[in-house]
Amino acid sequence: MKLSISEARKQLPALVRRVRRDAGARIEITVHDKVVAELRAVQPQPEPGAAAKTLLGLMAKLPKQRGKKVPISTRVKSHLYGPRGAIR
């Protein structure tokens, strides 16, 4: 829903109630037909450290033995431009 800023000022309490009831509702506020602001419900924040816990869980699932290490930095050009290189 798009509203001009003057209409949004007049209807602000009703708009806030609408967004509170319907978490998916978005109200775009315009100035001279350009959207300058958006009114929507607050998204729940993840708990602190959730990303780190997820990454540690994924790392635990990785295989311990990943195969022979290949020193790419010593042969960058053949790796990039060789017969099966990344850049073609």
Question: Token digits for 21?
Answer: 């009831």
Q: Which of 20, 40, 19, 38 is nearest to 30 (CA)?
A: 38
Q: What is the pLDDT of residues 33-55, one digit of tens each?
A: 999 999 999 888 889 999 999 99
Taking the complete model, does pTM exceed 0.75, yes or no? no
Q: What is the pLDDT of residues 63-88, one digit of tens each?
A: 877 777 777 777 777 767 877 666 65
